Amino acid sequence: MIIAISTDKEDNWDQPVSENFGRSQWFCLYNTDTKIVRFIENIAGSTKQNAGIKTINFLLELNVDTVLSGRFGSITTVLLREKNIQIIIPQRTKILSEIINQLKNQKL
């Protein structure tokens, strides 16, 4: 299972989760099976319109199962539900390393 976490910067573990889903600059991808973490630039983030939909298509190509971000738009939320992708909205105070650690420590 691959989890995509929206972030504003690359390779920074102390940053908070980005407040935007479609317009976030980077995604931190965590694979729960291999436990590999990598950052990937959101190529759909700078488009003028429908950034949310384009970002979903971009993430679907990467086989993402779960997305985690501060806020999702309405169209994005509906589309994610249709595509059966799990949406997670964390508390504002949570930083990236906390979430990754929580995912790493969970017992499957």
- Tokens read off for 74: 């309405």
Site string for another protein, 11-40 (x = CB under 8 A): ------------------------------
Minimum CB distance to another protein, residue 38 (Å): 20
Residue 28 belongs to what H/E stretch?
strand 26-31
Size of the site for another protein (CB under 8 A): 23
Site string for another protein, 65-94 (x = CB under 8 A): xx------xxx-xx-xx--xxxxxxxx---
Minimum CB distance to another protein, residue 90 (Å): 5
**Own/partner pairs for 57-64, CB < 8 Å, 24+ apart?**
59/4, 59/27, 59/85, 60/85, 62/2, 62/4, 62/29, 63/2, 64/2, 64/3, 64/4, 64/29
Minimum CB distance to another protein, residue 61 (Å): 19
